């Protein structure tokens, strides 16, 4: 049976001994899968209804530390439980792990069983529901860029993250010969994900040493975010199984191009593309123009959801294909937003700003919120910008530091109206924690620069 599996089909796979373990997963603020490994029979007996986890899982940083300052939970509140309710429409095999299936959960309040508003999956669901009330649905796709390294994660960690050697020796963008050298990793990535029900289109070499890209076919917004999260998890595990490591850090070395995660988006009314008008300029409907005006106007507001860490901002440099300007273009990769499928039913807008470290649920939710605002206000879309947009002096700028992005998020009336004050405040605190941790650190650059000369 093609994935996702039905609950009844999972039963047959457990009964015949094919599946003995079920990963019961939630998605944390960083976009990682967290949860428990269930014995498959226990999942069938009772685990499919609900399970529980500590509510600190939505109030930690990358290192899983427990910082103060979150209103939702903390030491003062005693770190209680969340309820995890499996979304049985997301059951799928995990072909790269023997005898294993997976299900993604929604996160609920332990006492009221109401959805936890700052859970990334719920943040996206709210925007999907807002579109549904308008008679619309969102189709989205993400591109995953990452680097493959020769050594395992354990070896690299023990070496202090210093001896980082990519699998390939030079730029391998679209190069079939160079990517052949990585097929022992990438072939199982493609095939295992496809067997898990992830509609993989292709992989390719990217424009840097040892850099790869995975492209997944467009899907309804929530499914798209699920696909992205599972794929990122799989790439790390499959690389580890082969003695290598995969990193989604946007900028791992100053003289190397960084990794992005482009997001393609369009709106539909039933089976008809609401973004398409055969008589419109470039095939764009009026609704598409309003939506795109919104995502461009409010790009600074939601920048944090596209670039959530200090390192995220190191990739925004001219000449690197990482855009720095909030304008749109027609098929121009120097712009923050690129029109694709010009003049066809597949016309869509690609946001090129986000980094490989984004949480897809939050990024997609923020883009949809901004686009909805553009539709509500019938915002006018400026003409496209052409040429080298790094040189465009009058174009709007994205926030260039995490501090600036957090401050802009804090002051965003649009996102507060779309997501709620509590959700925005929760993620503002998330950004503040990252900044506080970084400010405590003395970097190698500071020591080398000033140890003798200061």
Closest CA to 171 of 213, 207, 212: 207
What pLDDT shows up at residue 207?
87
Q: What is the residue extent of each domain of the chain? A: 7-116, 127-445
* pLDDT tens digit at each of 454 positions of the chain: 678 999 999 999 999 999 999 999 999 999 999 999 999 999 999 999 999 999 999 999 999 999 999 999 989 888 999 999 999 999 999 999 999 999 999 999 999 999 999 999 999 999 999 999 999 999 999 999 999 999 999 999 999 999 899 998 888 899 899 999 999 999 999 999 999 999 999 999 998 999 999 999 999 999 999 999 999 999 999 999 999 999 999 999 999 999 999 999 999 999 999 999 999 999 999 999 999 999 999 999 999 999 999 999 999 988 777 888 889 999 888 889 999 999 999 999 999 999 999 999 999 999 999 999 999 999 999 999 888 778 777 778 889 999 999 999 999 999 999 999 999 999 999 999 999 999 999 999 999 999 999 9
User: Taking the complete model, does pTM exceed 0.95, yes or no?
Assistant: yes
Cβ burial of 409 (10 Å; 0-12, 13-18, 19+) is buried
Which of helix, strand or coil describes residue 359? coil
Q: Which two tokens stand for residue 89?
A: 């429409």
- Regarding the domain delimited by 7-116, which CATH topology (the fold level of the hierarchy) does it fall under? Ubiquitin-like (UB roll) (3.10.20)
Which pLDDT score, from 0 to 100, does residue 2 have?
Answer: 76
The b/e string for 388-405 (b: 16+ C-beta within 10 A; e otherwise) is ebbebeebeebbeebbbb
Instruction: Give percent helix, percent strand, percent coil of the chain, each to the nearest 5.
Output: 35, 20, 40
Structure tokens at 265: 């988006």
Instruction: Show the beta-strand stretches assigned E in 270-318.
Output: 272-273
For residue 57, the cross-strand partners are none
Q: Coil, strand or helix: which one is 446?
A: helix
Residue 258: what pLDDT? 95
Cα dihedral 354/257/207/262 (nearest 10)? 0
CA-to-CA distance for 131 and 144, rounded, in angstroms? 26
pLDDT of residue 388: 79
Q: Where are the alpha helices (DSSP H) in 16-81?
A: 40-42
Predicted local distance difference test score (pLDDT) of residue 321? 79
- CATH-assigned architecture of domain 127-445: 2-Layer Sandwich (3.30)
CA angle (229 as vertex; 348, 246 as ends), nearest 5: 105
Q: Which of 264, 261, 265, 283 is nearest to 138 (CA)?
A: 265
Q: Using CA atoms, how far apart are residues 299 and 366, in angstroms rounded to an integer? A: 9
């Amino acid at each position: 049976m093609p994935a996702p599996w039905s609950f009844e089909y999972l039963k047959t796979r457990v009964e015949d001994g094919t599946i003995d373990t079920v990963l019961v997963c939630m998605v944390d603020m960083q976009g990682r899968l967290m949860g428990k490994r269930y014995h498959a029979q226990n999942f069938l007996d009772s685990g499919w209804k609900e399970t529980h986890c500590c509510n600190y899982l939505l109030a930690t940083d990358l290192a899983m530390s427990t910082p103060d300052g979150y209103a939702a939970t903390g030491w003062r509140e005693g770190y209680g439980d969340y309820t995890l309710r499996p979304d049985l429409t997301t059951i799928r095999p995990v072909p790269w792990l023997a005898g294993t299936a997976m299900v993604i959960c929604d996160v609920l309040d332990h006492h009221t069983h109401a959805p936890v508003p700052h859970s990334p999956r719920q943040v996206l669901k709210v925007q999907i529901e807002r579109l549904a009330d308008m008679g619309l649905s969102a189709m989205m796709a993400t591109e995953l860029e990452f680097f493959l390294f020769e050594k395992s994660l354990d070896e690299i960690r023990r070496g202090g993250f210093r001896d980082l050697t990519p699998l390939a020796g030079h730029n391998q963008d679209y190069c079939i010969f160079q990517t052949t050298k990585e097929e022992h990793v990438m072939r199982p990535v493609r095939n295992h994900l496809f067997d898990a029900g992830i509609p993989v289109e292709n992989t390719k070499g990217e424009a840097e040493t040892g850099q790869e890209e995975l492209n997944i076919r467009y899907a309804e917004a929530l499914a798209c975010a699920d696909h992205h999260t599972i794929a990122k998890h799989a790439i790390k595990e499959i690389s580890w199984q082969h003695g290598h490591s995969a990193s989604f850090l946007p900028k791992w070395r100053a003289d190397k191009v960084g990794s992005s995660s482009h997001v393609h988006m369009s709106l539909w009314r039933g089976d008809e593309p609401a973004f398409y008008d055969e008589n419109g300029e470039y095939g764009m409907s009026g609704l598409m123009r309003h939506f795109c005006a919104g995502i461009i106007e409010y790009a600074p507001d939601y920048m944090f959801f596209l670039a959530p860490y200090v390192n995220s901002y190191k990739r925004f440099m001219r000449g690197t294909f990482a855009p720095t300007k909030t304008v749109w273009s027609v098929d121009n990769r120097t712009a923050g937003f690129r029109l694709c499928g010009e003049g066809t039913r597949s016309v869509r807008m690609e946001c090129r700003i986000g980094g490989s470290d984004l949480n897809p649920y939050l990024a997609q939710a923020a883009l949809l919120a901004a686009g909805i605002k553009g539709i509500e206000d019938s915002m006018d879309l400026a003409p496209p910008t052409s040429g080298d947009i790094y040189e465009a002096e009058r174009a709007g700028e994205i926030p260039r530091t995490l501090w600036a992005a957090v401050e802009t998020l804090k002051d965003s009336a649009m996102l507060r109206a779309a997501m709620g004050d509590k959700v925005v405040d929760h993620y503002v605190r998330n950004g503040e924690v990252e900044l506080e941790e970084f400010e405590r650190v003395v970097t190698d650059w500071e020591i080398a620069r000033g140890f003798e000369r200061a």
